[in-house]
Structure 1
Amino acid sequence: MRVMNISSGPRGLNGVAGTVLLQPGESQDIEMTEIEERSARRTGNFHFGTGKPPASTEAELRERFAGISSQQQAQRWPIEEVKRRLQERGMLW
C-alpha cells in the first residue's frame, strides 16, 4: 500500500519486512499487517493511497514546512545517515 508522511517530522511504520522511516512528504509502497495499518491511520500522520492528500492537508503541510528555520534544516540528518545508524544497531533491515 502506498503511504505518504504528511506530518512535519520523520515518522516510522512497522512494515512486514521491518521498520520504514519516512521523511515529511516522502511516500513509499509498504506492506503492513491490518493491525499496523489501522494503528497508523489513527495517528493522522499518514496519507494512504496513490492520490494527492486532501487540499487542506497539502496547504497545512506547506505552512508547517515554511516554519522550519534554516538553522533547524542545518541540524537535520540526511535520511541516508539515519538509515545507516539504524541498520548498524539492527533496528532497520
Structure 2
Amino acid sequence: MASGKDQIDLAKAMEILTDEFNINRLAIVGGGKINGGFLEAGLVDEISILIGAGADGRTGQPSLFDGRPESSRPIALQLKDVASFDDGAVWLQYLVK
C-alpha cells in the first residue's frame, strides 16, 4: 500500500485501510516520530502507556511523541483508566480530547 508522494499521507493510508481492507482500528506501536505523526494528523483517539518501575535518564533517548511542530500546542488528554501491578509498573490509558 502506498500513500503520498514525498511522505506518507497518514489520513489517506487510514482511509485505504478502512475502505479496501475493512480495518477500523489499529494499534500504533512505533517510535516518537511515527507516534507524533499520527497524533499530529488527528488519527489517535486513545493513548496507552505502560511505565515500568525503573528510571533511565540517558541522553538522546527518544520521546513518546516526537517531530511535532514547535508552534503546535499540547494535545489535551483525559484519563480513562489506571492499573498498577505487583512489580511496581503502572498502566495509564488516556482518551485524546
Q: TM-score range by the shorter chain?
A: under 0.3
TM-score, normalization: structure 1?
0.26
Which is bigger in relative contact order (C-alpha 8 A, separation at least 6)?
1
Structure richer in helix, relative to its length: 1
Tell me the TM-score normalised to structure 2 length: 0.26
Pick the structure with greater CA Rg. 2
